[in-house]
Amino acid sequence: MAKGYNRPRQSKGGSGMMAQFQQMQEQMAQAQAELSDETVTATVGGGAIHVTMTGDQVCKSVEIQPDLLEDVDIELLQDLIASGVNAALEQSKELANQKMSPFTNMLGGLGLGL
**Tens digit of pLDDT for each residue in 17-63?**
888 888 888 888 888 888 899 999 999 999 999 999 999 999 999 99
Instruction: Supply the pTM of this predicted model.
Output: 0.69
User: What structural domains and CATH numbers belong to the chain?
Assistant: 36-109 (3.30.1310.10)
Segment 73-102, tens digit of pLDDT: 899 999 999 999 999 999 999 999 998 888
* 51/63 Cα distance (integer angstroms): 6
**DSSP letter (8 states) at residue 58:** -
* 101/98 Cα distance (integer angstroms): 5
Q: What is the mean pLDDT of residues 59-68?
A: 94
For the chain, strand residue ranges (E) read 39-44, 49-54, 59-64
* 105/68 Cα distance (integer angstroms): 45
* pLDDT for 11: 53
Q: What angle do CA 92, 53, 32 make, to 5 degrees?
A: 55
